[in-house]
Amino acid sequence: ILIPSLGLVLAFWFYSARDTFKPEMLRGKRVIVTGASTGIGEQMAYHLARMGSHVLLTARTEARLQNVVRRCLELGAASARFVSGTMEDTAFAQHVVREAQAVLGGLDMLILNHVGASYFGFFDGDVEHVRKLLEINFLSYVAMTTSALPMLKESEGSIVVVSSMAGKIAGPFTAPYSATKFALDGFFSSLRQELIIDKVNVSITLCILGYINTESAVRAVSHVIPQTPAPKEECALEIIRAGALRRRELHYPSPAVGSMLLLRSLAPELLDSLLLSSYRLENVRRT
Ligand code: NDP
């Protein structure tokens, strides 16, 4: 009895020690954050700056990126730069990674967070919109990862993929968006296994987020979803923490997302009806 109990205590101690996050873990690390001009990406840039990382930020809007870079330098970033452009273009996605090689000499963490604009409503039949969204929300993530892997292998670094509840549970009114987020789970969960088989020490963290209080999310869904969104600042910190600890998945906000995922496995029909009953359906856009 004593030996197995001691084993359990040691395993628990080892797991807790491994699970301790310290901001110093990010000091001097070279990090790319995509979608860093607003929302959760902007907040991640500020956290990383306070932790003393080198940040390379990207999005389309140059003026906003300039402000975020300035603020990062004020907050203590080891260095802060941006590259502006659209992730509709795979060549741009690859260019951002080459820029990290050129100016930072390598990469420790790749945070894939950007998301193209979509609508919250009944699927309108626009196939071109689905294609464009797949390019922005999925293909560019694959392109950046492919280009960054050699540098990440060298640094034994981390890939952080920002996904959504809509990438695990397909509720209504998000068909194109949900498709792109499910694709991320398929691709990155498979790639994670291959890295393990090949003994490549690059971690992949998939972040499953619930409703967060970014301007764009509140604008898109608050007339249909009455729940209070979780704070973007805390969400951003949890994403960085999960990446630094090389976790397989982050569920944020934790009890809400975790319990929905559990209910999805145990009683999917019940989950569907609970979701629907929580929406203000009369406010949903129909085309
Ligand atoms: P925001 O809309 O606030 O930010 C999106 C970012 O992506 C901006 O920096 C935007 O900058 C950039 N972006 C948009 N289109 C393009 C493009 N074509 N090429 C390059 N960059 C682009 O989003 P959030 O902060 O709310 O979301 C961040 C992540 O979190 C996303 O992956 C989202 O799916 C996920 N998430 C968010 C939730 C929420 O409730 N907020 C819930 C679940 C998941 P610019 O316009 O300057 O290009």
Tell me the CATH number at 110: 3.40.50.720
Structural domain contains residue 249 = yes
CA distance 248 to 242: 8
Closest CA to 159 of 182, 191, 133, 181: 191
How much is the ipTM here?
Answer: 0.99
Nearest CA to ligand 1 atom 14: 116
Query: From the centroid of its chain, how far is CA 171?
Result: 19
Question: What's residue 92's pLDDT?
Answer: 98
Mean pLDDT of 88-116: 98
Over 80: is that where the pLDDT of 38 sits? yes
Mean pLDDT of 44-59: 98
Distances (CA, A) of 197 to 14, 143, 146, 194: 24, 22, 17, 5
Structural domain contains residue 110 = yes
Q: Provide the 10 A C-beta neighbour count for residue 202.
A: 23
Structural domain contains residue 78 = yes
CA distance 210 to 233: 14
Atom of ligand 1 nearest to the CA of 181: 34
Six-digit token string for 132: 């464009």
CA distance 252 to 263: 16
Over 60: is that where the pLDDT of 243 sits? yes
Nearest CA to ligand 1 atom 32: 113
Atom of ligand 1 nearest to the CA of 136: 18
- For the chain, percent of residues with pLDDT exceeding 90: 90
Interval between CA 71 and ligand 1 midpoint (Å): 19
CA distance 177 to 118: 7
Atom of ligand 1 nearest to the CA of 87: 19
The number of folded domains in the chain is 1
Nearest CA to ligand 1 atom 24: 39
Structural domain contains residue 237 = yes
What range does the domain containing 178 cover? 23-283
Question: What's residue 272's pLDDT?
Answer: 93
